[in-house]
Structure 1
Amino acid sequence: MPPAKKRKIADEPKVQDGAPVDERAISKSQDPQYIDKELNAERSGDSKPDLGLVDKNQERKERFKALQARAQKSAHKNLKEAAAESQRLATDPNLLSSLSRKQAFASHNLLKADTAAAGEDFERKRAWDWTVDESEKWDKRMEKKEKHREDVAFQDYTQDARKIYKRQLRELKPDMEGYEKEKAAAVQKAALNGGLEIIETEGGELVAVDTNGTFYSTADSTDFIENKPEKAAVDRLVNDLRMAEEVRLRKRRDRGKGDDDGDVTFINDKNKQFNQKLARFYNKYTAEIRDSFERGTMI
């Protein structure tokens, strides 16, 4: 096998980008000892650290500390709220209200006893804490409450119808926006037809005056028959009527007067139970006699 050829090294100075290169620097960079020294310096940290990397690490540490502080604060807050919730659940609200009511009654009786012992008027002394308006409002409220308490029981059908009417008025929710639109359209239509005259007062207010007496409704007016309500209003009326019918039937069933009861042969619930007990034992003996009476063939 022929011997390996030796690499020929030129004696001429090396040129890079038109400038001579120092051969000592090249030979130093290719020296194995120099390369090992540089690697050891990088591994041991002798090389100069990057400033940007240091700033990022510092920022991450600060963010981590902030997150730790927030987590600790949240845990402390959750623990505090959990303790408050546990205490609230352990306390009976009915018991607290009962104790407050008893304390109020005790304070009232104590003040009344002290006032009577001093020879003063209790009602007059207690009225010092209230103004005239507050006292009148309280008296009206108590009077209304007393009337309402007396009005619960059934008196007659007129009174019952009045209570139902008042309840329906309380539950009524008029469409004021739609009413204002219809009113404005009606006023504009009447003004164009000459039925209304718009007059401006001294204060700058516009007033509509009915010139021929046809715009405002009277007892003889029949314009309301031309009104066409919306479908939603009709559906609401039908729903109210259906609910009223369901309530009526439910009350009828609760009174024991359902449609499937047949003839009413009792005057109260006790009498009804007694008749049912008699029917269980004696209907099999009296069925033929009863049918004969109903047919009119009984001799």
Structure 2
Amino acid sequence: MAKSPNSEDAKPTMKETQSPPPSGPEATASDAKPAIPASTDTSTPAPTTTDISTSTSASASTDAKAALAARMARFKALQTAKESGRKATEREVRDAEDRSQRLAQLSKLSAANEKASYKLLKADDPDFERKRNWDYTVEESESWDKRQAKKARNRDGNAFADYRGEASKVYKRQVRQLGSVDLEEYAARKGERLQQQVQSGLLQLVETDDGDVFTIDKQGRINTPVEEGYTHDHKPSKEAVDKLVDDLEKGERARLKARAARGVNDDDGGDVTYINQKNKQFNEKLARFYNRYTTEIRESFERGTAI
């Protein structure tokens, strides 16, 4: 089949499709500055997103490690301070205990030394007591004898005699524990009360020829306030209230201590045959006198062989 000449004309050759090279000034410019491909660039490449995130995470991990190390160092310092404080406290407590023990031992040693020296001097010199009494006056000797007699009476009076004697001993002990009384304040309060009763007509004011002034009541008592009904207008001082509270608390502590001691003594491990302390004492007294006669009978009852 013969080809038509039109088909050959429709397919132009390579030479026909290429554009002719530029001429003139355009050709000179293109020849002078040729294009440089991207692969031939020798400069430092720009950092990518992955490199930036890696560097950020590395710096963050470094900061976290530094903060953790600082916290651990502070924690160790606190532990060291705590341990040193505990050791110092224990050392002070031991020193205080040892100090009290040393003082007690020193006092015991000094007392033993005084007793030993007294015995040695008394053994060496038969007239030691008489010579030692030369240094005391008659008043000091009498005062010493009175104190010794009073101690002997108190020692003998410790046993229970009757409830009146017990109440008297308690009263005297409480009076001794009251301490010193402010006599000036007492005299001032008494003078104010006497003046008020003179003004109210309960007392009569009398003046002697020598110029002495005193009060007298209907019964003839001098400078003695008349007993009146309590008007609830007296306000004691804070010191007096504190003293009263301390005295009441001291008595309560003594009662609790005596009660605890009685409870300890009651728990003797034997059979409980009493209902209170007085009943226990009565049963013990009966046991002292009659146990010698009733032991066999009681044991027979306990064995179940009693007739």
Give the TM-score band, short-chain normalised. Answer: 0.3 to 0.5
The structure whose Rg is larger is 2
| More RCO (CA 8 Å, sep 6+) | 2
TM-score (norm 1): 0.42
